[in-house]
Each structure stands twice: as C-alpha cells, then as structure tokens.
Amino acid sequence: MTGEISPMPLRYPDRLYINGSWVAPSAGAAIDVVDSASEELCLRVAAAQPADTHRAIAAARDAFDNGPWPRMTHADRAACLRKFAAELRLRAADVGQLWPRESGALHALAEPFTKSAAAEWEFYADLASTFPFEERAKPLAGGEFGLIVREPVGVVGAIIPWNGPLGSLSHKVAPALLAGCTVVLKAAPEAPGLPLIAAEVADDIGLPPGVLNVITADREVSEILVTDPRVDKISFTGSTAAGRRIASLCGARIARCTLELGGKSAAIVLDDADLEGAADTLVAAECILSGQVCYSLTRIVVTRSRQDELVAALADRFAQVTVGDPYDPRTQVGPLASQTQLKRVNGYITRGLEEGATLVTGGRRPLGLDRGYYVEPTVFANVNNSDTIAREEIFGPVLSVIPVADEADAVRVANDTIYGLNASVFTPDADRARAVAGRLRTGTVGHNAMRTDLALGFGGFKQSGIGREGGAEGLRNYLEHKAIILDDVPSAYRE
C-alpha cells in the first residue's frame, strides 16, 4: 500500500463538522481508508478523540436547548429538508467516486442510490403537513380539554455502518431533523466519505450551528456518545453483537434506542414455484453490494425433492456473474469492503466445508484478480439449519440451500433463527404467499423477490433489532408522546 492519496471530492477530509464549523481533531489523529479494489490508500480523514466527541455532543445539546431549530415550525424544518435533498442530488458523481472505493459498491449504483436517499428526505418533508404532531383527545379521568402532542426526543446519537452509509444516515437524520431533534452523526471509520458529503450539504444549505454534527471515530470513542447523559436517544445500524452492547449501555441510563441489526433471512421456495425464475431473482439480489446487505436472502429453503434442480440453477447463474472492478460497467459483483471482511467470509466458507455442506460453486478468489478483497459468489447445498453458515450472518455473497420436507417444515426452519429481519415466499399463488407470510416471524416478507420498502417501515423481530426505520414509524422514533389535560379549552382551540 502506498502513502499517496488520489484526489477525492471532499473539501475538508482532515476536519470534523461540529457546531456549524469544520474543526481539526483535538489530537491531530487520522484514519486511513483503503480502496477495496486495489488495496491502496485512497482517503485519510480526521479521527475524533474523546474531547471532540464531547464537543459535538455539547454543540447538539446547546442547539436543542437554546437554538432555533426545535422552535421552528415543522413546515420550516421541512423546507430545509427539501434544500438538503436538492443539494444531495447534485453530489451523485461525488458519491460515485467514494462509495465504490470504501465499500466495494458498483459505481453504477451511485446515482440511483443518491436519488433514493434524496427522495427519503423529501418523503419526510412531506410528512410535515400530514403527520399528527398534535391531536385533540377527550379526557376520561377529569378535565375539559385533552391534547396529545408529539415532541422531539432531544439530542440524537446516530451511528451508521460502512456498507450503505448514505441510506443509513438518511433513514436516521431526515426524520430526526423534521421532528426537531439535533444530531451527532458518527460515521464508520471504514467509510467516512459519504457522511462528510452530508456534512458539506448541511453546511451549504445553512443548517443552524449544532443541528447536525458529523464525526468519524472508532468503537471506543463511540461509546462516549452512547453513555453521555446529554444524548437522549441512540439510533444504531450495524451488527447484532454491537447492538447488544449499545442496548446494554442505553439500558443502564434508560436512554431511548432504535436498533437495526443483523439478519439471516430465508427465501422459502414452495413446491409450485418457478425454480428458474427464483434462481434469477436470488442471484441478482445477492449480487447487490457483494452480498454485504443485512436483509439479504441467504438461507434458501426448498423441499428436498426440488433441491438439486434449484441448486443447479443457482450455480449456473452464479458461474456467469462477472466479478471485478466496481467502475467497470460490465461488473456485477465488486469486492468486499475490507481485508477484515474478506477474512470473515473466507472463514465461513471453510467452516461450511468442515461441517459437511456441499460446495457447489465459488468459494475462492476469482482468477485474474490478485489484488482487492474479492471472493467468488458461492453456493452451498445440503446445509443443515444447525450449521454455522445457516445460523450466523456472513455478510458476503454466500448462499446456503437448506432442504426440508414440506411447507410446514419450511416455515419451521425459516423461523428457527435468532434473527427476523426479512424473508420472501416464492410461489405463483398470492393467497398461499399471504398465508405463509402470516406464519413468519420477520419484519418484512416479500413475494417472489427480495423486497423492502422504507415507506412501509423497515426493521426486525427478535435479535434483528428494536423499532422501525422509514415511513411514519421512522418519524415516531424521534418523538415523545405528551398528554396535556386542561380545565378549559385554550383560546387557540375554540371554534
């Protein structure tokens, strides 16, 4: 790895964004980001130290307690969200320079993902005029006038992962700002570029100081954000292991938290499903972000009599997938994000072989790709649901095909997991799909596809998380419910 850094579309990579200003880290510390395709140093950013994190928290606290933001109308805050969306759309090319290098995402995804993130900011802006922030209610235990008011929860610590940072920060920051909260956004050290773009956008549109603060830090420094009593709520997306730690720290001080955690999602392929079509869909879905997707359908549950046919179709399609440079328009699967992630995925492939699963295709470094964090898309057959590769989140392009006796057994296996984030049912019969969906313990169930829809809310059962992101449910994460009961009707509410 060389010490030279290619030009990147960031104005202040050596700064943190705190209280409306770009400030140097207190100790001059830095984080090196390595290009996932070349293994070369591509970016060096400021690393927040404890003093910097405390400074960011203080700025957010003061902005909430004393600044104009929480006292603005929802319509005025919505106007700022619309400005943010408009500016963000203009940064799609910059996203395309950063995201593939940091996370291995295909360059072709940069523009549609940026547009999708901008649309989410606009979605929350639209809620300013439709969401019931205030409702009259008849008191039943005394008093003449009742009012339910939904007020901002306060200072939010938003902690996002490296795989889809622009989407993750949008899911958290947009509703929090509409609600009237102030935010400290903590970027993952592996992928700080897109959060820094968000900070630049906030600066460009003139958000009041302290409303959005952006820092990059390691886990130890991040725990300050979780434990500081000045932070009212933590919103975290990441691994279940990290989520357990955050939940325990929040529980110690009864802090609010929303956790969007891991998954080991099942695709149930029923006995009337089109296997060729199912294979096309599952392979295409697993190519997204090289399988580094929390809601990826990685457990393929199929009746034993149809396993061989489905496995052959999956293997045939994976063998034709082009793995390579994320900037090459012919590439369908780019590299994994890091050396750590590559080691993790290879370790699971080895474990699958050791535990007796059948490696059908993949499992190696692709020929001709000697540098970069690449692994071939991989299919295991004859996987037992008790195997490690069926139980633990791999976060790479590895599918485990699990044979079962019948539909009832398929539902049992799909539910036999600590996770409950996503699922899909493959069948031409919508009534049958609906019936199976009703028996699955998971936050989203798709039909013949890997489906999620933020407008409907996204999150998991069991150890896949607490709460929902997206839609009106995502806004409620950042609101407190207050009941006001008065002896008479205030003048503003008299007809």
The 10s digit of each residue's pLDDT in 284-326 is 999 999 999 999 999 999 999 999 999 999 999 999 999 999 9
Residue 176 structure tokens: 């929090």
Q: What local confidence, expressed as pLDDT, does residue 12 receive? A: 96
Residue 55 structure tokens: 């400074």
137, 175, 298, 400, 467 from 475: Cα distances, Å: 21, 5, 30, 36, 11
Give the DSSP H/E element, type plus range, for residue 33.
strand 30-34
| Catalytic center residues | 260, 294
Q: What local confidence, expressed as pLDDT, does residue 7 receive? A: 72
Contacts of 186 (CB under 8 A, 6+ apart): 157, 158, 159, 160, 215, 216, 217, 222, 225
Q: Check pLDDT > 50 for residue 484.
A: yes
Q: How confident is the model at residue 1 (pLDDT cuts 50, 70, 90)?
A: very low
Q: How confident is the model at residue 4 (pLDDT cuts 50, 70, 90)?
A: low
Q: What local confidence, expressed as pLDDT, does residue 2 receive? A: 42
CA angle 229, 232, 235 (to 5 degrees): 120
d(CA 490, CA 492): 6
Amino acid at 237: T
Q: What local confidence, expressed as pLDDT, does residue 356 receive? A: 98
d(CA 466, CA 378): 31
The model's pLDDT over 326-385, given as tens digits with 9 standing for 90+, comes to: 999 999 999 999 999 999 999 999 999 999 999 999 999 999 999 999 999 999 999 999
Q: What local confidence, expressed as pLDDT, does residue 6 receive? A: 60
The model's pLDDT over 184-204, given as tens digits with 9 standing for 90+, comes to: 999 999 999 999 999 999 999
Q: Check pLDDT > 90 for residue 219.
A: no
d(CA 451, CA 270): 17
Radius of gyration of the chain from its Cα atoms, rounded to whole angstroms: 24
The domains found in the chain, sorted by start residue, are 16-261+462-482 (3.40.605.10), 265-456 (3.40.309.10)
The model's pLDDT over 416-446, given as tens digits with 9 standing for 90+, comes to: 999 999 999 999 999 999 999 999 999 999 9
Q: Check pLDDT > 80 for residue 179.
A: yes
CA angle 282, 286, 291 (to 5 degrees): 160
Mean pLDDT of the chain: 96
d(CA 31, CA 346): 26
22, exposed or middle or buried, with CB in 10 Å at 0-12, 13-18, 19+?
middle
Amino acid at 46: A
